[in-house]
A and B are shown apart, each in its own frame.
Chain A
C-alpha cells in the first residue's frame, strides 16, 4: 500500500511554545489530508480536513488559530500546535488520499507538553 510518513514520531515541548508536525505522502500525490487526535484509550477524533492549495476545514470545537494546518503541496501537510499547553498532549495522526483511493494513515506523533 501507499506510504504516509509523519515526523516527528515523538516530541516533548515546553508549555507556551509551538510545535510543527509534518505529514508526507511518499509515493502518491495527496489532494486531501486529514488530521486526527487521539486521547489515551479513546478513539480518533477528526480535527480538520485539508485540501491542497486551500484553507483547511475544521471540525466543530477545534480552534483553527491554535491548530494551524497548511497543505501547500500535494505531498506535504503540516499541523502546528501554537502556544501549546499540557492539555494539548495527545497522539496526533494524519491520513492522506488521492481522492480516488482509500486514505492511508501515518504512524502518528505523540506530543507531550510539559
Chain B
C-alpha cells in the first residue's frame, strides 16, 4: 500500500542553519504530497503542498519539490529560527485534496539560539 518514509529525528540545529528533512514515498498513481507542522500541544497545520510532479510548494521560507523520478519530497529551509522548533510530518494523499492520507513518522526539529 501507499506509504511515506521520513528521516528520523530528532534534528537539532543552531539558528540560521540550513535545514533538510528527507521524505520519500511509495504510491500507485499520482499522489499529492504535503508537509504538516505540529507545534507542542497543538494539532497539525498545513505547511505546504504539491499536487503534481515538479511542483514546488513553499511557505514561510520552507520549500519542497515533488520529484517523481526519485519519489521524494524533501523539506528545506535556508535559515531556521527558534520558532521553527516543532514536529514536521510528510504525508501523501491519493486525491488532489488530502482525503485518505498517509503520514510519515514525523521529525522533531529543535532550533537553538
Q: How far, in whole Å, are A6 and B41 apart by their CA atoms in the complex? A: 13
Task: Return B47 CB to nearest CB of chain A, in Å.
Answer: 12
Per the CB 8 Å criterion, the residue count for chain A at the interface is 24
Per the CB 8 Å criterion, the residue count for chain B at the interface is 19
Which residue of A46, A102, A105, A108 contacts B97 across the interface (Cβ within 8 Å)? Answer: A102
Which residue of B44, B99, B100 contacts A105 across the interface (Cβ within 8 Å)? Answer: B44
Using a CB–CB distance below 8 Å, which chain A residues touch chain B? Answer: 1, 6, 32, 34, 41-44, 46, 49, 93, 95, 97, 99-108, 110
12 contacting pairs across A/B (C-beta < 8 A): A6-B43, A32-B99, A42-B105, A42-B106, A43-B89, A43-B104, A44-B44, A95-B98, A99-B97, A102-B46, A103-B97, A110-B41
Using a CB–CB distance below 8 Å, which chain B residues touch chain A? Answer: 36, 41-46, 49, 89, 97-101, 103-106, 108
